[in-house]
Amino acid sequence: MRIAVLSGKGGTGKTFVSVNLACVADEAVYVDCDVEEPNGHLFLKPEITKKESIGVFVPEVDMSKCTACRKCVDFCQYNALALLKDNLLIFNEVCHSCGGCILFCPEHALTKKEREIGYIEAGKSKKVSTLSGCLHMGEVSGVPIIKKLIDKMPPNDAITVVDCPPGSACVVMESIREADYCVLVAEPTLFGAHNLAMVYELTQLFRKPIGVVLNKCLKGDNPSQAFCKENQIKVLTKIPYDEELAKLNSEGFVAVRASEKYHEIFFELLKQIEQEGLQ
């Protein structure tokens, strides 16, 4: 079963939920798709067994063939090409690798060149296999790295937990592509409810079954819980704000490995998700 864990913004406890779900399973795969800021490894501390470079192609020009006709410049919708005194300039960082300029060049002056944008690492942390992606600083899109991570996931009879990037942009869409079930993590504030609404809409567009984990709950109003009630969304569990947990997290411990209480909470949560996913 493939479980994607999402939240509308960073800092809601998405990685906390993902890591602990993976660690409470008998055997699981944890996939860190938060490629701009992967931090599941800070808790899991996996032994890295394999590292692979991830690249995209960009155009390369042979100036001996280029006649400065501008056709490629006019074609590129991303302003990744410019002509300066008959010299073709290529801005690799904003190129989206569509390949159009290469096809359009009447002189065949453009060819493909590979450029590294990041890497993925495979590892092992006790019974959890890990796959983690990292986008180099300054790069525009982590989608190619996430695509690779999703393609590397094992068949869906194993418990696989995908730690998605925060928000609801294309990197999140790519991360939930193969998910059987989505867990939305939300904080008990108005802002938290607004972020929850954002990811809820996204999962509905993809017609994914969902449940919500209400995290850092305090006494009093919980706008995220109210949103779930209004929209008839299943609340899987409520995790109270807890100083002991904050301490475990800040020291890089996996809560289910360090605390019987959290082992029980996440054991029940995983059981519920598996039951919900089967319906």
The site for ligand SF4 (CB under 6 A) is made up of 59, 61, 66-72, 75-76, 78, 80-81, 88, 95-101, 104-105, 107, 109-110
- Pick between residue 96 and residue 152 the one whose CB is nearest to ligand SF4: 96
Q: In whole angstroms, how close is the CB of 33 to ligand SF4 at the nearest point?
A: 24
- Cα torsion angle, 103, 105, 111, 114, sign: negative
- Pick between residue 59 and residue 166 the one whose CB is nearest to ligand SF4: 59
- Pick between residue 84 and residue 155 the one whose CB is nearest to ligand SF4: 84
- Pick between residue 84 and residue 251 the one whose CB is nearest to ligand SF4: 84
Q: In whole angstroms, how close is the CB of 98 to ligand SF4 at the nearest point?
A: 4
Q: In whole angstroms, how close is the CB of 119 to ligand SF4 at the nearest point?
A: 22
Q: In whole angstroms, how close is the CB of 74 to ligand SF4 at the nearest point?
A: 9
Q: In whole angstroms, how close is the CB of 116 to ligand SF4 at the nearest point?
A: 16
- Pick between residue 67 and residue 156 the one whose CB is nearest to ligand SF4: 67
Encoded amino acid at 13, one letter: G
3-state SS of the chain? CEEEEECCCCCCCHHHHHHHHHHHCCCEEEEECCCCCCCCHHHHCCEEEEEEEEEEEEEEECCCCCCCCCHHHHHCCCCCEEEECCEEEECHHHCCCCCHHHHHCCCCCEEEEEEEEEEEEEEEECCEEEEEEEECCCCCCCHHHHHHHHHCCCCCCCEEEEECCCCCCHHHHHHHCCCCEEEEEECCCHHHHHHHHHHHHHHHHCCCCEEEEEEEECCCCCHHHHHHHHCCCCEEEEEECCHHHHHHHHCCCCHHHHCHHHHHHHHHHHHHHHHHHHC
- Pick between residue 89 and residue 246 the one whose CB is nearest to ligand SF4: 89
Q: In whole angstroms, how close is the CB of 71 to ligand SF4 at the nearest point?
A: 4
Q: In whole angstroms, how close is the CB of 267 to ligand SF4 at the nearest point?
A: 48
Contact between 61 and 90 (Cβ < 8 Å): yes
- Pick between residue 109 and residue 212 the one whose CB is nearest to ligand SF4: 109
Length of the chain: 279
